[in-house]
Structure 1
Amino acid sequence: MGTYTFKANVKNMGFTPVPDIFINEYMPQADGNFVKVYLAGLYQSLAGENIIGEKLSKKLGLLESDIIKALEYWESKGLLKIKKNDNDIEINFMDILAIYYGSKIYSSGGKLSPEMIGLRMENPKIKSMHDTIDELLGRLLSPKEVMTYLSWIDDFGFSPEVVILLIEYCKARKKTDFRYIEKVAISWNEAKIKTADDAQRYISMHEEKYNNYRLVLDFLGLKENDLMKPQEEFLNKWFDDWSFSLEMVLEACKICSLRINEPNFSYIDGILSNWHKNGYKTLKDIESKQTNKKGKGIKFKAPVTTFNSYDQRSYDIKELEKKLLGRDEVDGNGQ
């Protein structure tokens, strides 16, 4: 373990001054151990004494790797700069008030100034994030985009890795326009995503949901880019609010296709609304309802579609009209 040298442009006044800005703006978003390291480092910088890494680690009750991680976090926020020399590390604490309020740091409107952007780009992780996003999008970022991505680190508490994962997520969905990316960032912030692990869990959880959406659109002969807000709200209702399985939604889609030969979301919603009202959750629920009624109608085989993974089923026309749409139970459904 090497030696840590903490430096600050503040005189030792017999106490460690912690600006309100740090407490109000930076501390709430930071890990508790990161705050511990920052305060210990600030104290050490005022004491003007070097400290061996092992001693600092023991003093804080942290692994030295955790101390390094904390210092790199604060460097990504622009609050300090790290300079490594072999095993020794020099940490320079920046003037937090100048960073937050200074005219050289923020331009009019409270946006990051070119000077501050340049300072932040000296951080290897920030620079790597910038270069990676350039590569992912296949173009150079505009100044507005750079300022926005840095603001997510400051305002949302995203790590640089989270910003990269966010861009990768949007690219995978083939939606890389700035407005869409910004909307996703806001939703991730509302979901309390802060770390790469948080982002991976969120992506995994939502991937199945959006995969179901894609399968429904594919079954209806629509492309993902054709999906409009009202249609997405229908999908959210069917899968999230009513908890229908993919099999049930596709069944309703097929009935819609057989009856009116077009992908009509309102029509499909009418079918699923009736099933939801009657408590139908599986195809067996529907079939059991059919078998309770007398009479036989003409049966037919549904035409083969390009959706090969979906099981084609035989239907009775009268039963489809009267039972699956619930017209024997609820008259005037409008479907």
Structure 2
Amino acid sequence: MSFVLETTEIDLGDTPIENIFINDFMPMADGTYVKVYLLGFKFAHDRDSNIEVNNETIAKHLNIPLSDVLHAWDFWEDKGIIEKISKEDGNEYDYEVKFLSLKQLCIKNNYKKISFVMNEEAVSKGYVCSEKDLIEANRIETINKMFNSIDYTMRRQLVPNEKKKVLEWMYNYNMDPDMIVKAFFYAIEKKGIRRINYVEGIIRNWYDSGITNVEALQQEMKKNDEKYYRYMRIMEYLGYGKKSPTEGQMKVIDKWFDEYGFSLDIVLKACENTNKTSNPSINYIDGILSSWYTKDIKNVDEIEEKDKKPEKIHPNENREYSKATSKPVKTRFHNFEQRSSKYTSDELEEIARRKREEYYSKAKGE
């Protein structure tokens, strides 16, 4: 005797998503990254051994490039809510994704928000960061990375009071660390202003405009600041995530648009070739685009036509080609007229017989 449940042809199941993800992680992420996480979580929850799922499956299901899927897992791993478990085959792009329990992370303090203790005065004026809050914040990996990125952009280290202000912005303006880093980059690299108050003004404007995540910022920059939008999209395509380009990288990127006259579509097409290398970089893309520029490629449609690799000739075909096309080299021996061509085969045989007889006669006489 056995018990069997009928399975439905249509997937009518449920996938439980923790509210911590919806409330705390989803607002800070790009929409594509959220889709990848949810679909991957759904496949993990199904636990159907008959279904084989990998990154290519997710890319096809969502109709997005494979690079977007890989970037999504890098993003969620950086946030500490998944683990990438490498396989024994040594392929760094072939790995298992382990979804961590967000409730358990809260219990273990692996994911820990800054504890904001506010008195009545602070409630009316907004959050004011204390020394204790600053110490606790520095223990959080994402906050620590944010301060390091800001120090690099500022070309100096922030002093404690400046760090307190940054933490206050995060709470009062509901800003993700990535947004804070991008505000500093925009103020310094785009506007040439290094004042902390100016950066706060940028963040306040973004907050008032409802721009509180990177995806919304990209859309805003696409409309109002095309050059900064290019930087963001290219760095994202190359897998740098929230990292801002250096001054040298910006000069190279500007060359692609100002000197070469390429569109963003053709530059992003070149960035797709980073899947073929384990160490993508701006210089790698520059080599591709410089080659396309010399071949007078103007748009994406001309890439396949003008960027063809020379066909290789098979070794055997090469030898046959050489035999057919090479001219024989003549020497003085080719000008020698052979006397044997004047006689028939019988006459030649008779001459040879007489020569033999003469030879034997001379031998006996000696």
| TM-score of the pair, normalised by structure 2 | 0.39
| TM-score of the pair, normalised by structure 1 | 0.42
**Bigger CA radius of gyration:** 2
**Larger strand proportion, structure 1 or 2?**
1
